[in-house]
Structure 1
Amino acid sequence: MGKVDHHYWVYIVASGPCGWLYVGMTNDLVRRIGEHRHGQIDGYSRERGTDRLVWYEHHRYVDQAILREKRIKRWLRSWKFALVEETNPHWTDLYPALLTGDHS
């Protein structure tokens, strides 16, 4: 039996630098961020215009990804900003790099 790789992503999309934030989890990061960008995510994300991917993290196990998403959702806003700014201090939209396959 061959090795099966699982990919789950916890991510943050924003309306802009230090703007509205949405924390989510998916098993298809390119598809999901595309949905955000095209306004296909009902509710909070569409209403706030959170369509800029500013942070993401890979997990191999779905339960770990769900736990991480839930924890981050409970964080203070300033903690979420600090998390983004650790790796993306200019709040650059990371989505274009996903389209080139650079999201490991």
Structure 2
Amino acid sequence: MIKGGFVYIMANNRPTLYTGVTNNLAKRIYQHKNKVGSWFTSTYNLNKLVYFEYFDTIEQAIIREKQIKDMNRKDKLLLIQKINPAFKDLHNKILDVSLR
């Protein structure tokens, strides 16, 4: 049974933002980068993982996803800037963690 979950934010260079939730972050980001499974992210070329949080249960991650989706754009950008001020792609960071 899958227990943990991630909430994440994808962006492009504008940045257009997309918030999602998953139990397998590396796989989901791979899908987004390869334009599989999400019309919105493929249409707007959201190919950078700019933010993520891990939770012990998927239910907690879903609650946090809803909180973030309820934020206005300014607050989402501030949230991202706290951990990723340069809006760098964090994809390699999660790959490093998942390979350990």
Structure 2-normalised TM-score? Answer: 0.90
CA distance in structure 2 between the aligned counterparts of 1:23 and 1:5, rounded to whole angstroms: 21
- 8 Å CA contact retained: 2:26, 2:98: no
Q: Which has the larger radius of gyration?
A: 1
Q: Quote the offset at 1:33 in angstroms.
A: 0.4
Unaligned ranges ≥5, structure 2: none
Q: Which has the higher helix share?
A: 2
**Is the partner of 1:83 in helix, strand or coil?**
helix
Q: Quote the offset at 1:25 in angstroms.
A: 0.3
Partner residue in 2 for 1:32:
28
Runs of 4+ in 1 over 6 A off after TM superposition: none
How many percent identity over aligned positions? 32
**Is the partner of 1:10 in helix, strand or coil?**
strand
CA distance in structure 2 between the aligned counterparts of 1:39 and 1:13, rounded to whole angstroms: 12
**Is the partner of 1:40 in helix, strand or coil?**
coil
CA RMSD of aligned residues (A): 1.9
Partner residue in 2 for 1:88:
84
Structure 1-normalised TM-score? Answer: 0.86
